[in-house]
Amino acid sequence: MRAAWGAEGREARQRLRTAWCELREGRRKSARIGEEARVHVEKAKADAESRLRPSDGRLQDLRAEREAQLKMAGECGDPVGVSLEWAEQPLERLQLHEHALRPWKAVTSEEGEVREEAGEPLALSGLHVETGALSHHLCLRVTLPRDRNAVREWLYPHEKHWEAALHAFVVKVRDRQEQDEAFREKLRSRVVWIDAETRRIEALRAEVVKENGRVIADAEATLRTASEQAKAILEKAYDAWEEVAHRRPRR
């Protein structure tokens, strides 16, 4: 062992230094190759996400708009004109809204307090509204579109001013129905366009996803190749060190 540190051990020391430099360079080169390959994969994945971001954002906007359009289709809208005041039987008044006919019922609490309670709105689309006469009463008859036998009736005194009020109310409802139908047709057209645009963007997105998969797979294949290369470089450096030092270096 002492000979290795004397003049006669100069060659052995030089070989050891050379092996150490090779080991250090092998480690550095192996780490650099592995890191560059990992960065390449991470960049490929980040680029893939960025390529999807515009279509994902657009799809989110379209779905939100579609939901908003459908919500609008189910809303009553604002009240229109003067409501048809209390009928005799049952105790209800009718209020015309932009897109629905809504009954309001008088409800008396246990304390005797009278308040109005909103009934289920009747969408104007498809409603058939007409007036008629039943014995000593005028009748406002509303037939629901989902069932021609589903008829609701409100009774009013058989008096001239009620006859005029009912007639005016029916005219107002029918005028509003025309506007409501135009509104709904516009909504339907917009929803059809949204659905078509959504399908188009989803198809484009699927192509991007496919291309992203190919790019990431290529990057991961490059990483595997680089890892094998780095491992081979490191093993060669380890072997060189072991040949001189007669032991494997610490990893």
Which two structure tokens, joined as six digits, stand for 151?
A: 């008829």
Return the number of other C-beta atoms located less than 10 Å from residue 169's C-beta: 20
At residue 92, the pLDDT reads 79
Mean pLDDT for back-to-back runs of 10 residues, the chain (251 residues): 51 70 74 82 89 94 95 90 72 89 85 83 92 87 79 88 92 95 94 97 95 89 82 76 68 59
In a domain, 64, yes or no: yes
Q: What are phi and psi of 91, to 5 degrees?
A: -75, 85
Give 122's contacts (C-beta < 8 A, 6+ positions apart).
Answer: 100, 101, 102, 103, 142, 144, 152
In a domain, 176, yes or no: no
Q: Locate tokens 């550095």: which residue?
A: 28
In a domain, 233, yes or no: yes
Q: Based on the structure, what is the number of domains in the chain?
A: 1
At residue 3, the pLDDT reads 44
In a domain, 227, yes or no: yes
**Planar angle of CA 53, 220, 225, nearest 5 degrees:** 155
In a domain, 213, yes or no: yes
What residues make up the domain containing 208? 2-72+200-245
In a domain, 237, yes or no: yes
pTM for the predicted model, two decimal places = 0.71
At residue 90, the pLDDT reads 60
